[in-house]
């Protein structure tokens, strides 16, 4: 069983094939779909080439099922959050940047915080150490 990702609001599974799917709204208010890797620390993105995103642009990341924003202010308003269940059924909260091109992801369980990406030190997560997968 691979890692599965879920909306924190409606609990819908967000995995499609080998990717996670989100609805996004850019700063021009245009809506589109984006596919991202389920591997934490892999920042590859697939999208329609006509849907333009600028590096540094603040996006709204939205659940494609319930249409609620995944933004969280638990740590920072620039972060979105989903629930991840690993192959053993263990649950984690996964926070990631809504700023296009910013590489930072945080995996939080009840026992630890793991930080991934070159920009992960930008947000204060209580001095967590970087992790590499």
Torsions phi, psi for 79 (to 5 deg): -110, 145
Tell me the CB-side half-sphere exposure of residue 125, using CA atoms within 13 A: 23
For residue 10, give its domain range: 4-122
Which structure tokens are listed for 44?
Answer: 């590859």
Does residue 67 fall inside a structural domain? Answer: yes
Does residue 129 fall inside a structural domain? Answer: no
Give the tens place of pLDDT for each residue, 103-130: 999 999 887 889 999 998 887 655 444 4
Percent of the chain exceeding pLDDT 90 equals 74
E strands, 8-90, in order: 15-16, 19-25, 31-36, 45-47, 60-62, 71-72, 79-85
Q: Is the pLDDT of residue 78 over 60?
A: yes
Torsions phi, psi for 117 (to 5 deg): 100, 150
| Confidence grade of residue 131 (pLDDT, cut at 50, 70, 90) | very low
C-alpha–C-alpha distance, residues 12 and 93, integer Å: 15
C-alpha–C-alpha distance, residues 25 and 131, integer Å: 30
C-alpha–C-alpha distance, residues 63 and 24, integer Å: 9
Does residue 131 fall inside a structural domain? Answer: no
Q: Which pLDDT score is estimated for 128?
A: 46
For β-strands 91-97 and 105-108, DSSP reports them as antiparallel
Q: What is the pTM of this model?
A: 0.89
C-alpha–C-alpha distance, residues 83 and 85, integer Å: 7
**Could you give the number of structural domains in the chain?**
1
Mean pLDDT (the chain) is: 89
Q: Which pLDDT score is estimated for 1?
A: 55
Give the tens place of pLDDT for each residue, 33-67: 999 999 999 999 999 999 989 999 999 999 999 99
Q: Is the pLDDT of residue 75 over 80?
A: no
Q: Which pLDDT score is estimated for 124?
A: 67
């Amino acid at each position: 069983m691979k890692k599965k990702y879920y909306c924190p609001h409606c609990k819908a599974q967000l995995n499609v094939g080998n990717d996670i799917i989100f609805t996004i709204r850019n700063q021009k208010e245009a809506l589109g779909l984006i596919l991202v890797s389920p591997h934490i620390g892999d920042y590859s993105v697939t999208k329609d080439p006509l849907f333009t995103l600028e590096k540094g642009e603040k996006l709204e990341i939205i659940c494609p099922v319930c249409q609620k924003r995944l933004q969280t202010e638990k740590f920072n308003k620039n972060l979105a959050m989903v629930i991840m269940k690993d192959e053993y059924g263990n649950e984690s909260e996964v926070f990631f940047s809504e700023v296009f091109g910013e590489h930072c992801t945080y995996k939080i369980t009840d026992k630890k915080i793991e930080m991934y990406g070159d920009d992960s030190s930008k947000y204060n997560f209580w001095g967590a150490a970087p992790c590499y997968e």
